[in-house]
Amino acid sequence: MIWNQKIECMDREQLSVLQTEKLRKTAQKVYENVPFYKQAFDELGVKPDDIKSLDDLQSLPFTVKSDLRDHYPFGLFSAKSEDIVRLHASSGTTGKPTVVGYTARDIKNWGDLMARSFAFAGGNKNSVIQVAYGYGLFTGGLGAHYGAEALGATTIPISGGNTKRQIMLMQDFGTTIIAATPSYMLFMAETMEEMGVDPKSLKLEAGVFGAEPWTEAMRTEIEQRFGILAIDIYGLSEIMGPGVASDCECKCGLHISEDFFLPEIIDPVTLKPLPYGSEGELVFTTIDKDGIPLIRYRTRDITSLNADTCECGRTMVRMQKVLGRSDDMLIIRGVNVFPSQIEGVLMDIAGVSPHYQIVVDRAHNFDRLEVQVEVEGSLFSDEVRRLEELRAKIQADIQTVLGINVKVSLVEPKTIERSMGKAKRVIDNR
Ligand code: DLL
């Protein structure tokens, strides 16, 4: 089902007229209400009225995460405080969180956009949606919650964690769609096995999984273990939260809700825009937000865009599955390494579980990368030779993909700490 056929399948020329109009209004709003933006526009010598077409976007200033932190907590808000009805925040690596505010209209629109994502997963008013993203300052829980209600579905606001209870409710309430991080979904599969529950015996039909990078191999594993459709959902709190983009049943890229968010891909070094199809850093301009509209926000997420009409009929641009972040990219002895590349290798090898951790250390100016990965328990009671063969294979395959030698350690099942939210894949001790 297409939730908003008129918009989601809009002729692209018509769409660009709508986007240009919304962009000009947004530029006016931030120029008038946010001193940070007035100064940034003035420094570049641009005025909101100069915006005549979408090409003029390139003359506008960028926004980065530290700009939000430097104006903590509400300095980049465009709306008056009396009109803000909700705050969310995402934790940074250091110090203060990044705070975002929503007006009542923003909350309504967010629910509507999230409903589009649930519709991608086949959701409708008959669906029973279990929201296993965390509720609280994180946008996952409440974002999915309002989307499920906007859809008219029955919503189960269980939040993350409490895994056995999640499973019981899935059985008893007849959950048809689950919203969770992909790593937590795999943990639920494991817990079901321990409890003697067959994941395929549930009424579950689909899941909307996101908040962290995951590979196609992980998608296949979830789909096969549960017998469901696994949809990728992308978003970030600065731009709105979950529901900025999601893939449809074709699973060939995530449709961005372009009537709200203008995407660009830039070269993260030169900051120059790149054409469709090129990989680079994703940048968003929000064009229909009141609380905290942002101009050219640098997400640090690496992907590419595709503007071809999708088989599903939607015309909205698609972004490729996120490859990683330009800032969690590891540089190991000069080589750029994305955790998702290592995950890709692991998932292609039989007997290896999707639970792994990457530990980086430096000794005598030499970077060492260790991949700790869980393997099937039965292997440990087998001959040592088989374990060693598997270890050597993983090491050789990673060497082929990354071009560097890494240490591989095989560990027993359930040794690596499980997460109820975003998995912590990398421990960088450098
Ligand atoms: O993670 C919002 C969200 C909640 C999205 C639930 C999807 C589902 P933040 O905590 O601000 O917001 O983190 C945003 O998470 O810049 C990406 O690096 C990463 N991320 C989110 N979704 C995906 C995804 C939420 N589907 C940051 N694939 C983003 C890869 C993702 N990375």
User: Per residue in 290-329, pLDDT tens?
Assistant: 999 999 999 999 999 999 989 999 999 999 999 888 877 7
Q: 90 C-alpha vs ligand 1 centroid, how far in Å?
A: 11
The overall average pLDDT reported for the chain is: 94
Task: Determine how β-strand 318-319 pairs with β-strand 305-306.
Answer: antiparallel
Residues shown for the chain: 430
Q: 430 C-alpha vs ligand 1 centroid, how far in Å?
A: 25
- Is the pLDDT reported for residue 152 higher than 70? yes
At residue 382 the predicted structure's pLDDT band, cuts being 50, 70 and 90, is: confident
Amino acid (1-letter code) at residue 253: G
- Is the pLDDT reported for residue 189 higher than 60? yes
Atom of ligand 1 nearest to the CA of 301: 18
Residues 84, 138, single domain; the answer is yes
Higher pLDDT, 215 or 118: 118
Q: What is the CATH number of the domain that holds 70?
A: 3.40.50.12780
Pocket test for ligand 1, best of 137, 212, 426 (most atoms within 8 A of CB): 212
> Distance (Å, rounded) from C-alpha 21 to C-alpha 54?
9
Q: What is the mean pLDDT of residues 328-342?
A: 82
Q: 233 C-alpha vs ligand 1 centroid, how far in Å?
A: 8
At residue 97 the predicted structure's pLDDT band, cuts being 50, 70 and 90, is: confident
Tokens read off for 166? 């999640």
Residues 300, 334, single domain; the answer is no
Atom of ligand 1 nearest to the CA of 321: 28
- Of 283, 298, 323, which closes a domain? 323
- Of 272, 296, 323, which closes a domain? 323
Q: Which residue has the tokens 């994703």?
A: 282
What pLDDT, in 10s, does the model give residues 341-365? 899 899 999 889 889 999 999 887 7
Residues 340, 315, single domain; the answer is no
Q: 112 C-alpha vs ligand 1 centroid, how far in Å?
A: 18
Residues 342, 247, single domain; the answer is no
Tokens read off for 331? 């540089």
Higher pLDDT, 166 or 69: 166
Residues 194, 84, single domain; the answer is yes
What pLDDT, in 10s, does the model give residues 5-64? 999 999 999 999 999 999 999 999 999 999 999 999 999 999 999 999 999 999 999 999
Q: 380 C-alpha vs ligand 1 centroid, how far in Å?
A: 36
- Is the pLDDT reported for residue 172 higher than 70? yes
Atom of ligand 1 nearest to the CA of 233: 26
What are φ and ψ of residue 396, in 5° steps? Answer: -65, -40
- Of 268, 297, 323, which closes a domain? 323
At residue 95 the predicted structure's pLDDT band, cuts being 50, 70 and 90, is: low
- Is the pLDDT reported for residue 171 higher than 70? yes
- Provide the residue range defining the domain that includes 63: 1-323
For residue 93, what pLDDT is reported? 45
Residues 301, 154, single domain; the answer is yes
Nearest alpha carbon, ligand 1 atom 30:
213
Residues 191, 335, single domain; the answer is no
For residue 188, what pLDDT is reported? 94
Q: Is the pTM of this model over 0.95?
A: no
Tokens read off for 118? 């649930």
For residue 383, what pLDDT is reported? 80
Q: 244 C-alpha vs ligand 1 centroid, how far in Å?
A: 10
Q: What is the CATH number of the domain that holds 415?
A: 3.30.300.30
Higher pLDDT, 402 or 109: 109
Tokens read off for 140? 């996952």
Q: 241 C-alpha vs ligand 1 centroid, how far in Å?
A: 8
Atom of ligand 1 nearest to the CA of 328: 18
Residues 72, 190, single domain; the answer is yes
- Is the pLDDT reported for residue 94 higher than 70? no
Nearest alpha carbon, ligand 1 atom 12:
236
Residues 315, 335, single domain; the answer is no
For ligand 1, which residues put their CB under 6 angstroms from it?
A: 90, 133, 139-140, 210-213, 232-237, 241-242, 299, 301, 322, 325
Atom of ligand 1 nearest to the CA of 208: 8
Q: 372 C-alpha vs ligand 1 centroid, how far in Å?
A: 24
Residues 47, 120, single domain; the answer is yes
Number of domains in the chain: 2
Residues 282, 364, single domain; the answer is no
Residues 195, 131, single domain; the answer is yes
Q: Which residue has the tokens 């292609």?
A: 348
219: which residues sit within 8 A by CB, 6+ positions away? 182, 209, 230, 232, 251
Task: Determine how β-strand 280-286 pairs with β-strand 297-303.
Answer: antiparallel
Contact (Cβ atoms closer than 8 angstroms) between residue 211 and residue 41:
no
Nearest alpha carbon, ligand 1 atom 18:
301
What pLDDT, in 10s, does the model give residues 242-262? 999 999 999 999 999 999 999
